[in-house]
Structure 1
Amino acid sequence: MTPMIDVRHVHKAFGGLRVINDCSLSVAKGSITGLIGPNGAGKSTLFNIIAGALPLDSGQVLLDGEEITNRPANALFHKGLLRTFQIAHEFSQMTALENLMMVPPAQAGEGLFNAWLKPGLVRAQEEGVRRKALEVIDFIGLYHVRNELAGNLSGGQKKLLELGRTMMTDARVVLLDEIAAGVNRTLLGDLVENIERLNRDLGYTFLVIEHDMDMIARLCDPVIVLAQGSVMVEGTIQEIQSNPEVIEAYFGAPHDATP
C-alpha cells in the first residue's frame, strides 16, 4: 500500500548546522503514527518540511504517492494535509464558531462580484458552512462555548478548536505538534477521544509529535524515534520503551549504567 506520507533521504541544514540528516520514514494510511525524540532531534524541523513551512536542501516528500517536495503550505492545505501547532493559532476576536466558519476555501462571499451580484448564493453557502461548523463544534464538545470569543477559551479548548478546524475541510492527513502541551487532563482526554474518532470513523491519518508518553502509548502505533536528525528506530511503544539505544539517546547513558 502506498504510504500517506513518504519522506525520502531528506537533508536540512541551517548555516553549518545539519538538523535533518538523511532522514527517511513513512506514515501508513489510516494510522496514528508517533514521532518522538530528545530535544534537538529535529522533530519540529521535519514537521515544518513536511507541512511546507520550510524548504529542504535535498531529498523528497510524497503525499499518497504524489511528490510534494517544497510545495507551500497553502497548496498542501488544498491537497488535504493540515497541521496544528504547539501554541494554538486562533482568531482571538472571533467566536469559536466563526473560527470554524473561516476555514473552508473559495467561499462565494470572499469575492466582491458575488457579494454584490449574487447575494443569494453567498447566503446559501454561508448557511451551509454554518451548519457544518455547528456539527463540528458539537462533535468536539465545544458547543456550549460556540459564541464565546476564541481568545477567551482555555488552552485545552483552543487545541480542541484547532482539531475542529481540520474537520471543516477535506483533510486526509493531520500533523499534530505537541497537542497535549498546556492542556489539563480532562480536556486532554477529550482531545485523545476526538483524535481516535476522527481516525476510526473518518479515516484521518495522523502524525503526532508529543512528549507525553502516556498519550503516545494510548494513541500511536507505530512510534518513530528521531535522533540527531535521522530515524533511530521504529516499533510499538513497548519496543521503543525497552530499546537500550532509545534510553541512551534520551538519558545520555546506557540503560544499565550505574550512577
Structure 2
Amino acid sequence: MTTDLVIDVRSVTKRFGGLLAVNNCSLSVKRGSITGLIGPNGAGKSTLFNMVAGNIVPDSGQVIFDGADVTGMKPYQLFRIGMLRTFQIAHEFSQMTALENLMMVPGDQPGEHLVSTWFRPGLVKSRETEVRKKALDVIDFLKLGHVRNELAGNLSGGQKKLLELGRTMMVDAKVVLLDEVAAGVNKSLLNDLAGNIERMNRELGYTFFVIEHDMDLIGRLCDPVIVMAQGEKIAEGPMAEIRANPQIVEAYFGTPVEVA
C-alpha cells in the first residue's frame, strides 16, 4: 500500500546504559520531499538517524518504511527494499574506477554466480552492458565524465561524495538518507552536490532525509526542517520559521541570540 509518508517514526526510544539518547520521538518524511534533521550536539539526531537506517535497534517504538514495519531490519535488508544511505566519510572501492564503483551497486547480477558465467555467458554479458549504460547515464547526470576512469581512491572528497550520490541512483531508491553530505567538501563542489540533489528531487522524484550541520545547505535544500533537542523533536517547519523562533535558536545554540 502506497502512503504519502515514506518514513514514519513512531515513539522510538533508545538508551545507552544510563543515557537516554532518544526519548519517545516521532517524526515523518513525506514522499517527494527533502526533509532536514538538525539539532545541537547530543540532541539524539544521529541515534535516531541510525535507527531509521537499521544500524541501531530501538528499545521501543516503530520505524515504518513505505507502509511496512521495518523495525530491527538490517541495512542490507533495507537496501533491498529501497532505503539507501550515504555516509559522512565516503565508502568507495578505492582501487576501482569511478565507473566500476557504480557498476558494483545493483545486486544479484548474473556475473556474481559461477554457474551463470559458465553456462549463461550471454545473459551475463547482456546484464553487464545494461548496468554499464546505466552507470554512464548516472556519470553524465552528475557531470563526472572527466573522472569516470579514474581510481575512486584518487578522487577529491567532494568527487567521492558525488560518486556516493551516484551509487544511490543505480537502484530504485524510495528514499536516500544523506549523512553529513557537506563534510570535507569544498564550497565549489558542495554547490555542485547540492544542485544534483535538487535535480534528483525535482527531475527524478527522489525523496531525501538529510542530517547536516551546515545550516546554509539545510536552508537551501530542505523543507521541512525537523529540530531535535535532548532526544526529542521540538519543532518542524520551513527553515525561515526555524531561524526566526527564539526558543529553537536558544535550544540549538545554548544561549539566546538575535536571528536576522
Place the TM-score, normalised by the shorter chain, in its bin: over 0.9
Question: Pick from 216, 221, 224: which aligns with 1:219?
Answer: 221
Partner of 1:101: 103
Show the 5 A alignment for 1:84-233. 84-233=86-235
Greater Cα shift, 114-123 or 164-173: 114-123
- Runs ≥4 residues deviating over 2 A: 253-256
Alpha-carbon distance in 2 for matches of 1:109, 1:177: 31
Q: For the residues of structure 1 that align with 2:101 and 2:51, how far apart are their CA atoms?
A: 26
Q: What amino acid is the match of 2:242?
A: I
| Counterpart position of 2:15 | 13
Amino acid in the other structure paired with 1:69: T
SS in 2 for 1:87: coil
Distance in 1, Cα, partners of 2:156 & 2:212: 20
Aligned to 2:32: 30
TM-score (norm 1): 0.97
* Separation of aligned partners in 2, 1:166 and 1:252: 36
* Partners of 2:182 and 2:256 in 1: CA distance: 29
Q: TM-score normalised to the size of structure 2?
A: 0.96
Distance 1:93 1:173 in 2: 28
8 Å contact from structure 1 (residues 37, 250) kept in 2: yes
Structure 1 residue 255 displacement after superposition: 3.5
* SS of residue in 2 equivalent to 1:10: strand
Alignment check: 8 A CA contact 1:84 1:176 kept: yes
Identify the match of residue 41 of structure 1 among 15, 35, 43: 43
Structure 1 stretch displaced more, 208-217 or 97-106: 208-217
1:80 CA drift (Å): 0.6
- Structure 1: gaps (5+ residues): none
SS at match of 2:28: strand
Q: CA deviation at 1:34?
A: 0.7
AA of the residue aligned to 1:254: P
Identity %: 68
Which of these residues, 251, 254, 260, is aligned with residue 252 of structure 1?
254
Please state if 1:50 is matched with 2:52: yes
Q: Which amino acid aligns with 2:248?
A: V
> Is contact 1:2–1:65 with CA below 8 Å preserved after alignment?
no
Letter in 2 for 1:188: L
SS of 1:4's partner is strand
